[in-house]
A and B are shown apart, each in its own frame.
Chain A
C-alpha cells in the first residue's frame, strides 16, 4: 500500500559514479565546416552533465553523434550499460534507442494530434512485443501487456504532474507543458541515458524554473543519468553536477559548475573578447 513507485525508470545497472559514456576525440566535418574537433568527455552514472556553449559551438552535433543520427569521422563513443560496453559510432539509431539512450529534441517532436497518454505509450513501443492478431482484438497477452505498460506510464504522469492533461491533445497544450510531455515520453523508454537538447529554449523564466525542477526530480527520484544541452548559463549552474563547455567545436573547459563559470576562457566565449565588444558599440 506504500505510495513508492513500483517501476524503476532507470535502466542502467551501474553504480552511481561509474563511467557510463566515454566520448573520445570525436571529430565531424560538414564540407569545410569542422563541427566537432577532438571532443572528449566522460559522463558518470547518476550525474546531470551539462554541455554548454554559444550558438554554433557544436552542442547539438555532439548529441546527434551520441544518438547515432550523425556518424563522426574520427574518434569513438562508448556506452557502458548493464549488458557490457558498446561502441556507438557504428550503431544504427534504432539500436542505440534499444540500448536505452533516449532523447528529446530542440523543437518539440510529439504527435500533436494525439493525446498525451498516447504519446507517452509510444515511449513504451521499444518494449512491446506485438502479435498482430492478439493486438488487433485486444485479448489475453496483448491486453495484459497494455495494462502493464500503462502502469509505468501513469507513474511518469505522476512524477511530472501532468494528470490534468492526460487525455488532452498535445497540440492544445501550452509550450511548457508540451516540453514536459516530451521529457515524459523519453522517460517512458526507461532510459539508461537521457539526452535533452535545449529543453528550456524559448521559455519564460518561470517555465524554465518549473522544468528545471522536474529535471532534478527525474534525476533524484529515478536516478537517470542526464546529458543536458543548454544555452542559459544560469539554469545550468543550478541543476548540473558537471559542465562541459564547447566553443567552435572544441572543448574549452570542463568541471564543476562553480569552477567553469569562473574560467576566463568560458567568460570570453560567452561575452566575446574585450576589444571585440568595443568595436560593435556605436561610435
Chain B
C-alpha cells in the first residue's frame, strides 16, 4: 500500500486528508482530551524545529524514556522527520540498563518524561556514566522546578524555540527515504545485554501492510496504547499501522486505570504479551471463586458451552443447532458479562505475542468469545512474521507466515524467516548481525517444526530445549505455562535435561491471589516469604503441579518443586522487561536451590541479597522447603476439588 514512504510523510498525508479528525486522545484530569491530525502534525513540526535549533543532525538518535503519552510519539516522529531515528527505553528500567543503551546507541538527545526519569539521568550524568548525552528534555515539569542542570529543557520550551523558515520542515520530511532507519529497537535480551536492532521505515510499513491485508484495521478504529512504546509490538500498531490507516491512539490516564480506560474505549483490536492475558484470566478465576453458587454454576455451564462452540469455530466448522441455541443463552447469562468486565465487548481480534501463551489460557478466551490469536516474530523482523488466521486457531501452533513471509525449518530444527521486514542489522554489532543474517535468512535461534497443516509450532529458544532421559524433546516454557495456568502461580522456571534424572521446578506464588486464598482459609501470615513457606501453601501448589503433570508427557512431569522466597523481578535481572525468564541468570543465582532440587533434602538454606527500589541492599538467610510430587496419589486427591476453569482435556 504505502511501503514507499516514511512515517513523517504518512503523518503529513493524513494531516492533509483529515485535519480535524482525532489522531491521539489522552485521558487527563478525568477527560479524554483529543489531538487532531492537524495539531499532531503541527506539534511534530514545532518540536522538530526546536530539536534542529539545538543541533539535532540527520542520522542521529533520539532516545525516549517514559510512559505512553502524546509527547512520546511526537518526539519520535520529530526525530524521524529530521532524518534521525528514535530509541525507546522501558520506563521501569534501572539506571544500569539506561546507561548501557544510551552509551551503546551514542545518544545525545534524551526525552525523559518526569522527575522520576530525569532523576535517573541526573544520577548517571553526575557519575559520568553517560558522557554522550548532551540534552535531556522532559515533558512533565512537575517537581523539576528547582533543578538547575544546564542540560535540562522542557518539552514545550523546545517546541517554542523552533523558528525555521516556512517550508523548511516540509522539505526535511520530503528528504526522508524509506530505507532510512526509523527506530533502534532494544531486543528483549534473554541472553545478556540488549542489542539494538535497526528497523527501517520500509521494514515497519511493509510488515504493517502485510498484517492488515490479512486482518484489516479501519480508519474509524480505536487503539489503546498502554504497553511500553519501547516494545516492538507497540511500535508496530501504534505507529506503523496507525500512520498507514489513520486510526486513533488512546493513552490511558495512569497504569492503575488501564482496565477502566479499556472499557471506556472498547477497542476492536488489541495486542498484548501473555502476561496481560494471564492476569485477566486470574482476575476472572478469582472473581468466579468469590461469587455465589448460582452465579458460579451459571458461569461454569456457560464456559463449557463456550468451549464447545469455540472448538468448532476455531476449526472453521459450524456448530449444530442445539449448540447454537445453548451458546446464545450462554452469551447472555455468562459470556458477555465477563467480556464486559474485561473491557473486551467490542474486540474483533486480539493478539498475543512476545512469549508463548498456555493453551488453556487460549481456550478460555475463545470460550468467552474473544478471537485471540498467537503471533510469532522477533524484534529483528518487526515483531510479526507468523500468525493464526481467523477461524483456524490451533492452540499449540503459532499459525502460518503473514503474506510475503517465507518460513523454513533448518535441518537442525532452527526456525528461519525471510521477508522484506527483516531488519538492517544490529547497531554497532557486526558480529551479531552476521550471526543472525546468514544466506539471506533471519536465523531466529528458536527451535520448532511445521505440523501436518503447515502451521508452525515453536518449541522454545533452541538452546533451552531439553531432552528427557527417555529421549523425548520438550520445552521448559511449555511446562512452565502449564504451571502458570493456576491463578496462584505467578512465575515458574522448569529445570531438566539430559544430565538430570527428572524435571524440577522453581515457582513463585502470586502474592495477591494466594493472600486472598489464605485469608479465606484463616491462614495468617506476615511477609511474602512467610506466606510462600506455609505448608498449606505448599499443599495448594502441589495440587496445581499434580494437575499440570496430568497434561504433560511422562518425561516432562515435575517431580520436585520449591516455592521461592521472592517474586522474580526484572529489577533483579531475573526477567527481561517483557517478562521472559533469563535462564542464565537464574541458573547462576539459584545454583544452591537447583542443586537441592536434585538432592534428597527436604529443605535448603540460602543467603539472599534483596535490592530495594531505592538501591539499598539487605542480606539474610532463608530456608526454603522442597516438596516432592508423588505422581499418582497426589493427582487423584485434588482432582475431585478441581476448580471450574481447570483445563480438562
Task: List residues of A whose CB falls within 8 A of some B CB.
Answer: 1-5, 151, 154-155, 157-159, 161, 163-164, 166, 217, 220-221
In the complex, how many residue pairs between chain A and chain B have their CB atoms under 8 Å apart? 40
Which chain B residue lies CB-closest to A161?
Answer: B254
- Inter-chain contact A4/B141, CB cutoff 8 Å: yes
Find residues 277-303 in chain B having any chain A CB closer than 8 Å to their own CB: none
- Inter-chain contact B30/A157, CB cutoff 8 Å: yes
Task: List residues of B whose CB falls within 8 A of some A CB.
Answer: 28-30, 43, 139-143, 145, 154-156, 159, 253-254, 256-257, 260
**B257: which of A3, A151, A163, A220 is its contact (CB, 8 Å)?**
A163
- Inter-chain contact A3/B30, CB cutoff 8 Å: no
Report B-chain residues with C-beta under 8 Å of the C-beta of A3.
139-142
- Inter-chain contact A221/B141, CB cutoff 8 Å: no
Cα of A266 to Cα of B343 in the assembled complex, Å: 56
Smallest Cβ distance from B138 to chain A, in angstroms? Answer: 9
Cα of A163 to Cα of B154 in the assembled complex, Å: 25
Report A-chain residues with C-beta under 8 Å of the C-beta of B28.
158
Q: A157-B30, A158-B29, A166-B30 are in contact. List 18 more A-B contacts (CB 8 A).
A: A1-B159, A2-B141, A2-B154, A2-B155, A2-B156, A4-B141, A4-B142, A154-B29, A155-B29, A158-B28, A161-B254, A161-B256, A163-B30, A163-B253, A163-B254, A164-B260, A221-B143, A221-B145
Report A-chain residues with C-beta under 8 Å of the C-beta of B154.
2
Report A-chain residues with C-beta under 8 Å of the C-beta of B156.
1-2
Given contacts A154-B30, A163-B30, contact A221 B256 (CB under 8 A): no
20 CB contacts below 8 A, A to B, read A1-B43, A1-B156, A2-B156, A3-B141, A5-B142, A154-B30, A157-B29, A158-B28, A158-B29, A159-B142, A161-B256, A163-B30, A163-B253, A163-B254, A163-B256, A164-B257, A166-B30, A217-B143, A220-B143, A221-B143
Smallest Cβ distance from A187 to chain B, in angstroms? Answer: 14
Cα of A157 to Cα of B142 in the assembled complex, Å: 14
Which chain B residue lies CB-closest to A5?
Answer: B142
Most buried by A among B28, B142, B154, B159: B142
**B256: which of A5, A159, A164, A217 is its contact (CB, 8 Å)?**
A164
Report B-chain residues with C-beta under 8 Å of the C-beta of A154.
29-30
Cα of A4 to Cα of B115 in the assembled complex, Å: 12
Report B-chain residues with C-beta under 8 Å of the C-beta of A220.
143
Cα of A97 to Cα of B547 in the assembled complex, Å: 63
Report B-chain residues with C-beta under 8 Å of the C-beta of A157.
29-30
**A151: which of B29, B140, B159 is its contact (CB, 8 Å)?**
B29
Which chain A residue lies CB-closest to B69?
Answer: A3
Smallest Cβ distance from B76 to chain A, in angstroms? Answer: 17
Cα of A151 to Cα of B30 in the assembled complex, Å: 10
Which chain A residue lies CB-closest to B143?
Answer: A221
Which chain A residue lies CB-closest to B145?
Answer: A221
Smallest Cβ distance from B580 to chain A, in angstroms? Answer: 28
Cα of A154 to Cα of B159 in the assembled complex, Å: 26
Report B-chain residues with C-beta under 8 Å of the C-beta of A155.
29
Cα of A164 to Cα of B154 in the assembled complex, Å: 28
Report A-chain residues with C-beta under 8 Å of the C-beta of B43.
1
Cα of A166 to Cα of B256 in the assembled complex, Å: 12
Report B-chain residues with C-beta under 8 Å of the C-beta of A161.
254, 256
Smallest Cβ distance from A212 to chain B, in angstroms? Answer: 13
Cα of A164 to Cα of B30 in the assembled complex, Å: 10
- Inter-chain contact A221/B142, CB cutoff 8 Å: yes
Report A-chain residues with C-beta under 8 Å of the C-beta of B253.
163
Which chain A residue lies CB-closest to B35?
Answer: A1
Report A-chain residues with C-beta under 8 Å of the C-beta of B159.
1
Report B-chain residues with C-beta under 8 Å of the C-beta of A5.
142
Report B-chain residues with C-beta under 8 Å of the C-beta of A166.
30
Most buried by A among B29, B154, B155, B260: B29
Smallest Cβ distance from A153 to chain B, in angstroms? Answer: 9
Which chain A residue lies CB-closest to B71?
Answer: A3
**Which 5 pairs show the lowest CB-CB distances between chains A and B?**
A154-B29, A164-B256, A2-B156, A3-B140, A164-B257
Cα of A220 to Cα of B145 in the assembled complex, Å: 10
Smallest Cβ distance from A157 to chain B, in angstroms? Answer: 7
Which chain B residue lies CB-closest to A222?
Answer: B142
- Inter-chain contact B254/A164, CB cutoff 8 Å: yes
Report B-chain residues with C-beta under 8 Å of the C-beta of A158.
28-29
Report A-chain residues with C-beta under 8 Å of the C-beta of B155.
2
Report B-chain residues with C-beta under 8 Å of the C-beta of A159.
142
Most buried by B among A155, A158, A164, A217: A164
Smallest Cβ distance from B260 to chain A, in angstroms? Answer: 7
Cα of A39 to Cα of B142 in the assembled complex, Å: 38
Which chain B residue lies CB-closest to A217?
Answer: B143
Report A-chain residues with C-beta under 8 Å of the C-beta of B143.
217, 220-221
Which chain B residue lies CB-closest to A152?
Answer: B29
Most buried by B among A2, A155, A158: A2
Report A-chain residues with C-beta under 8 Å of the C-beta of B142.
3-5, 159, 221
Smallest Cβ distance from A146 to chain B, in angstroms? Answer: 14
Report B-chain residues with C-beta under 8 Å of the C-beta of A4.
141-142
Which chain B residue lies CB-closest to A2?
Answer: B156
Cα of A221 to Cα of B146 in the assembled complex, Å: 10
Report A-chain residues with C-beta under 8 Å of the C-beta of B256.
161, 163-164
Report A-chain residues with C-beta under 8 Å of the C-beta of B139.
3
Cα of A164 to Cα of B155 in the assembled complex, Å: 27
Smallest Cβ distance from A184 to chain B, in angstroms? Answer: 14
Smallest Cβ distance from B175 to chain A, in angstroms? Answer: 28
Report B-chain residues with C-beta under 8 Å of the C-beta of A217.
143
